[in-house]
Structure 1
Amino acid sequence: MSARTRIRERKATGISILVALQALACAFFLADLASDVMTDGIGLHLAIEMIAAIALLAAVVLGAMRVRGLITAARRDEAAVATAQGALGELIRLRFEEWQLTAAEADVALFALKGCDISEIARLRGSAAGTVRAQLAKVYSKAGVESRSGLIALFLEDLIALPDKSSRVLGG
């Protein structure tokens, strides 16, 4: 389980506990209201209290439904991100194979795609900045681009599906 998932689950647990406490308070108010009605009958004060208790009950139910929906959406979004990460990883692997990058060039290209600058890449790889520059130049040449932004654009082009013009015309 990733750190992000653990944090999300802790937040969901905290919010669920809060909603449960609200439900407990609502049950207390409804029980107190029922006791007061049985003892004193329904008067203006108890009628107002009844409306407030019913509103609280509705808020608790709607809040619980909303929390559940948000948790479900967060889990769905996390699954979509994981799928996209897998797809991007596979796309990168395929392009690197297609361009016949060496292992060192592939490492340097991956660091470049992640946004590392030349000095960071050199430090991470334990090599000289000049070596990294030369490897990046080879990567750009093999990929048919001139810069890091061109390299990134190649991958974005493959990942961003533009709607077909005919589907826009037909309203689909």
Structure 2
Amino acid sequence: ANYDKTILRAPIDGTIKAVEKKRGETVQVNATIISMISSGNFQIEANISETEIDKINTGDEAEVTFDALGPDEKFTGAIAQIDPAETIVSGVVYYKITITFHDDERIKSGMTANLDILTERKENILYLPYYVVKEKNGGKYVQTIDGDKIIEKSIKTGLEGETTIEIVEGLQEGEQVVVEK
């Protein structure tokens, strides 16, 4: 009857990564005996700062790249979970998210992943690089060319990307803006 209690059964399908104990060794309660890597879909856990977490929702699409595979090898995932409890790292508040995506035999457990999370999408918009948009007196402007003069033109902005910002008012497609080197 007690023999059945000596058999270990894995709760998941996968590969044994390490055996931590040898036959005959004493084992403490809750001690790790065997480490496994799941053969199911991969998950990525990431910490998102408290200033960004309100922009992210379960189901949002994420583009995933891995340092080991290079920036051109892209995978698509989705945010499966957002932990409601904060995680504090070096005094900074973060929230843990879990992203799931379909596995690929080249991806190994522990690889460094880079994430771009798509929170909103707009098409056919006017946008400029961040460094072209200037701020003064609480407003935003760009420098444009009017004949042989450079003038400051007030603008209103919209969505912000990693390196670009949407221009929603104050500038027309085809207008030239001054770009500083």
| Short-chain TM bin | under 0.3
**Greater strand fraction, Structure 1 or Structure 2:** 2
TM-score w.r.t. the length of structure 1 is 0.18
- After TM superposition, the score normalised by the length of structure 2 is 0.17
Give the structure with higher Rg (CA). 1
Higher-helix-fraction structure: 1
